[in-house]
Amino acid sequence: MQRSAQALDRKHLIGILIIIVYAILVFTVPLLVDKQIAPILATVTLVMFAVYVLLALEIIHRSVLVILAGIIAVASAIFFGTINAEDSLDFIIESIDFNTIGLLLGMMIIVAILGETGVFIGLG
């Protein structure tokens, strides 16, 4: 039991260190090569990279992680002035492609039904 707790702590530490190293790179490399990068772009790339790392290491539950990442991305866009706070909800709703969401939802339903019938058992 103690080994699994140590492995879990090591996994958390590795994930946090990877995210910190990426954050340092995102915010310092453009300065070293005399390039300008918009702060919102750096912040959103850092959020997306953190999501991938945390998903891969399974540190935080997927649903919670995606909701937090979305909130951080929208809040940083409002903070940096990319979108106005008054127009943010309208902009976000207009940006959603409901056809794609419907397609993904339909595919997930089909896969869930096929999984329950045992179609994928012989494939693994």
For residue 31, is it within any domain? yes
**What integer pLDDT is reported at residue 65 of this predicted model?**
92
For residue 124, is it within any domain? no
The angle that helices 39-57 and 62-79 make with each other, rounded to 10 degrees, is 170
For residue 27, is it within any domain? yes
**What integer pLDDT is reported at residue 2 of this predicted model?**
58
What's the CA gap between 25 and 42, in Å, rounded? 10
**What integer pLDDT is reported at residue 108 of this predicted model?**
93
pTM passes above 0.85:
no
For residue 36, is it within any domain? yes
Per-residue pLDDT of the chain (124 residues; tens, 9 = 90+): 556 666 667 888 888 898 899 888 888 887 778 788 888 888 999 999 999 998 888 888 889 999 999 999 989 988 988 888 777 778 778 888 999 999 999 999 999 999 898 888 866 5
Q: How many domains does the chain have?
A: 1
Alpha helices in the chain (DSSP H): 2-32, 39-57, 62-79, 88-95, 98-117
Residue 12 burial class via C-beta count within 10 angstroms: exposed 0-12, middle 13-18, buried 19 and up: middle
For residue 119, is it within any domain? no
For residue 112, is it within any domain? no
Domain residues for the domain of 52 are: 2-82
For residue 90, is it within any domain? no
For residue 72, is it within any domain? yes
